[in-house]
């Protein structure tokens, strides 16, 4: 599933194509993806000018001068294609601009979705209501984590994946950040001291920024809007490397919980 760096890469790829452009065509080619596509999407978006693009957690946001924001989630296999040479069976939304550019939202598995909200009401969008701070934002600090995790007996990995604690973190980058911070994924969250949380916050930010710079991680279907494949996966230290040597020489371990794999080094991440 595309995680925060992949969505950030997508938004950055869409920005030079859409920002400041009038949408001359907004065509939904099916009534639904994971959930129904708003029936008034075309009416509210066609003819509007895109005033900004941004991201919240794993959601992409396209704002217009009509006071609306189109929200997209890439699900498991979604990606935008810029100026596609041909039309594919799973191009479910087509956007065209006054500058003659075309964008196609392609999603073979249809686990993504599209939504539409008044820009002024975005803070009340249901998925955003209980979200924690952005991991790259100023509110994600060691002091914040110390308070949010106080008394929590759950493993630190589970807490970092909880969108109410921090928004947008996914399995890949949590595994990598915990390794960089030298914290065991099974460590009881409420027992991690402030100095180690400071190291963890720095690791989360470093991993995410490195992944964004690398264009994300291409696993299965993800590609940036320009078709380029993210290459951060070539920098993985533990994720997907079961049995391979960690930089310390110990083998990377893997376990599966609730259908999700955890990768870690028992030597580097002892506590």
Q: 253 catalytic, yes or no?
A: no
Which residues, including other chains, have CB under 8 Å from residue 86's CB and lie 6 or more apart?
none
Write out the DSSP string of 95-141: EEETTS-EEEEE-SS---EEEEEEGGGGGG-HHHHT----TTSTT--
Are 164 and 130 contacting, i.e. CB atoms less than 8 angstroms apart? Answer: yes
Q: 138 catalytic, yes or no?
A: no
Given the residues 3, 6, 134, 176, select the one marked as catalytic.
Answer: 3
How distant, in Å, are the alpha carbons of 97, 132, 179, 205 from that of 73?
A: 21, 18, 28, 22
Given the residues 55, 56, 58, 81, select the one marked as catalytic.
Answer: 58
Given the residues 2, 5, 155, 185, select the one marked as catalytic.
Answer: 2
Given the residues 22, 29, 101, 260, select the one marked as catalytic.
Answer: 260
Q: 35 catalytic, yes or no?
A: no
Query: How far apart, in whole angstroms, are the C-alpha atoms of residue 168 and residue 55?
Result: 10
Are 73 and 58 contacting, i.e. CB atoms less than 8 angstroms apart? Answer: yes
Q: 22 catalytic, yes or no?
A: no
Active site residues: 2-3, 58, 260
């Amino acid at each position: 599933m595309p995680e925060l760096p992949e969505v950030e890469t997508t938004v950055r790829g869409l920005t030079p194509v859409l920002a400041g452009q009038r949408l001359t065509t907004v065509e939904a080619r099916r009534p639904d993806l994971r959930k129904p596509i708003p029936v008034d999407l075309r009416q509210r978006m066609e003819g509007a000018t895109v005033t900004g693009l941004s991201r919240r957690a794993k959601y992409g946001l396209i704002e217009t001068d009509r006071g609306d924001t189109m929200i997209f989630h890439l699900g498991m296999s979604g990606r935008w294609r810029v100026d596609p040479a041909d039309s594919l069976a799973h191009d479910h939304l087509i956007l065209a601009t006054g500058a003659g550019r075309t964008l196609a939202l392609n999603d073979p598995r249809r686990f993504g979705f599209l939504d539409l909200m008044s820009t002024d009401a975005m803070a009340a969008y249901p998925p955003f209501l209980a979200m924690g701070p952005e991991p790259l934002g100023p509110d994600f600090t060691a002091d914040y984590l110390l308070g949010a995790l106080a008394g929590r007996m759950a493993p630190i990995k589970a807490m970092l994946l909880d969108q109410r604690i921090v928004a947008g973190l996914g399995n890949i980058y949590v595994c990598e950040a915990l390794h960089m911070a030298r914290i065991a994924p099974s460590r009881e969250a409420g027992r991690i001291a402030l100095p180690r949380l400071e190291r963890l916050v720095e690791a989360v930010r470093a991993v995410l920024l490195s992944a964004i710079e690398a264009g994300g991680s291409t696993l299965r279907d993800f590609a940036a809007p320009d078709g380029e494949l993210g290459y951060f996966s070539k920098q993985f230290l533990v994720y997907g490397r079961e049995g391979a040597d960690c930089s310390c020489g110990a083998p990377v371990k893997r376990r599966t919980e609730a259908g999700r794999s955890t990768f870690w080094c028992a030597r580097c991440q002892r506590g």
